[in-house]
């Protein structure tokens, strides 16, 4: 039985994970770490800060909080040799470097998306990328998401660009010559792969990957309609990681 401390346990994602992970027979969510009092405890204890935890009571810290919280979790886990799973996005370069330093002391999994369907759609996009002239991504999230574009769309754009480069293809050129409204063509994420971000109430997490070539197109779409869709991927990461130092970037490598 792996014992979990869930950082960000009062948030919507934290509450979904507390319920979903706690239902797994081999996992136990013993602590919800958050400055706010969680709406539901799901059998766990509420702790205001990670420094209030006893490391002897925790096997894995799961962090779905804010970038600053990730830094605190990383330092605590490195000091106490407790494994770390990170789902928080929007980290700066310096914050990511902090995470990578932690991975020299203890096992760390960091992923922009823990939905198995989202991970597979990224894999499918990399397969398709060399066969089309252009690719654009539309990512759609709820109105409370504070960062744009999403970490998932950035990871997908990098996967597409890498696959195209490996096939000897040049970066994608944008034929647009006049912009009536600045930003209408989205953001050039990497090598001409553009991302368009949508934020609307009622959405959870959705992504469309559009490929085009003369006479045809291909669209790969993934939808998370409920935050429980992320539970299997987080559970996979928790089961896979331990205190042995290593850095796992994304959960794709954990899929059979």
d(CA 224, CA 206): 6
72 by DSSP, 3-state: which? helix
Same domain membership, residue 122 and residue 99: no
Residue 188: CATH number of its domain? 3.30.360.10
Q: Is the pLDDT of residue 256 over 80?
A: no
Same domain membership, residue 68 and residue 139: no
Query: Residue 124 is part of which domain span?
Result: 116-224
Residue 146's pLDDT is what?
Answer: 86
Strand partners, 19: none
Same domain membership, residue 101 and residue 11: yes
* pLDDT tens track for 54-81: 999 999 999 999 999 999 999 999 999 9
Residue found by looking up tokens 């794709």 in the block:
252
Same domain membership, residue 128 and residue 216: yes
* pLDDT tens track for 135-179: 999 999 999 998 899 989 999 999 999 999 999 999 999 999 999
Phi-psi region at 14: left, alpha or beta (left = phi > 0; alpha = psi -120 to 50): alpha
Question: What average pLDDT does range 79-100 have in this prediction?
Answer: 94
Same domain membership, residue 190 and residue 162: yes
Q: Is the pLDDT of residue 123 over 90?
A: yes
Same domain membership, residue 64 and residue 31: yes
Question: What average pLDDT does range 92-118 have in this prediction?
Answer: 95
Residue found by looking up tokens 């744009």 in the block:
148
Same domain membership, residue 219 and residue 133: yes
Quickly state the pLDDT bin for 90 (edges 50, 70, 90): confident
Same domain membership, residue 236 and residue 203: no
Q: How long, in residues, is the chain?
A: 256
Residue 112's pLDDT is what?
Answer: 86
d(CA 142, CA 202): 6
The percentage of residues in the chain with a pLDDT greater than 70, rounded to a whole number, is 100
CA angle, corner 249, sides to 46 and 77, nearest 5? Answer: 35
Give the catalytic positions in this structure: 141, 145
Question: What average pLDDT does range 100-129 have in this prediction?
Answer: 96
How many C-beta atoms lie closer than 10 Å to residue 91's C-beta? 21
Residue 214's pLDDT is what?
Answer: 97
Residue 89's pLDDT is what?
Answer: 84
Residue 156's pLDDT is what?
Answer: 96
Same domain membership, residue 238 and residue 190: no
> pTM, whole model, 2 decimals?
0.84
Same domain membership, residue 93 and residue 9: yes
Residue 77: CATH number of its domain? 3.40.50.720
d(CA 191, CA 176): 16
Same domain membership, residue 36 and residue 136: no
Same domain membership, residue 12 and residue 105: yes
Total structural domains in the chain? 2
């Amino acid at each position: 039985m792996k014992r979990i401390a869930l950082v960000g346990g009062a948030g919507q994602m934290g509450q979904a994970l507390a319920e979903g992970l706690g239902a797994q027979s081999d996992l136990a969510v013993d602590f919800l770490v958050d400055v706010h009092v969680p709406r539901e405890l799901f059998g766990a204890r509420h702790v205001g800060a990670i420094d209030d935890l006893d490391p002897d009571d925790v096997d894995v810290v799961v962090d779905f909080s804010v970038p600053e919280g990730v830094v605190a979790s990383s330092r605590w886990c490195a000091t106490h040799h407790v494994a770390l799973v990170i789902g928080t996005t929007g980290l700066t370069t310096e914050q990511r470097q902090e995470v990578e330093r932690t991975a020299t002391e203890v096992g760390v999994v960091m992923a922009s998306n823990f939905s198995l369907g989202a991970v597979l759609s990224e894999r499918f996009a990399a397969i398709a990328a060399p066969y089309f002239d252009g690719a654009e991504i539309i990512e759609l999230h709820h109105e409370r998401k504070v960062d744009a574009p999403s970490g998932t769309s950035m990871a997908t754009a990098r996967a597409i660009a890498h696959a195209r480069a490996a096939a000897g293809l040049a970066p994608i050129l944008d034929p647009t010559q006049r912009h009536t409204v600045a930003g209408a063509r989205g953001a050039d994420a990497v090598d001409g792969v553009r991302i368009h971000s949508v934020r609307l109430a009622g959405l959870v997490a959705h992504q469309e990957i559009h490929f085009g070539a003369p006479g045809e197109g291909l669209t790969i779409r993934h939808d998370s309609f409920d935050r429980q869709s992320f539970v299997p991927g987080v559970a996979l990461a928790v089961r896979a990681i331990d205190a042995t130092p290593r850095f796992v970037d994304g959960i794709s490598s954990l899929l059979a």
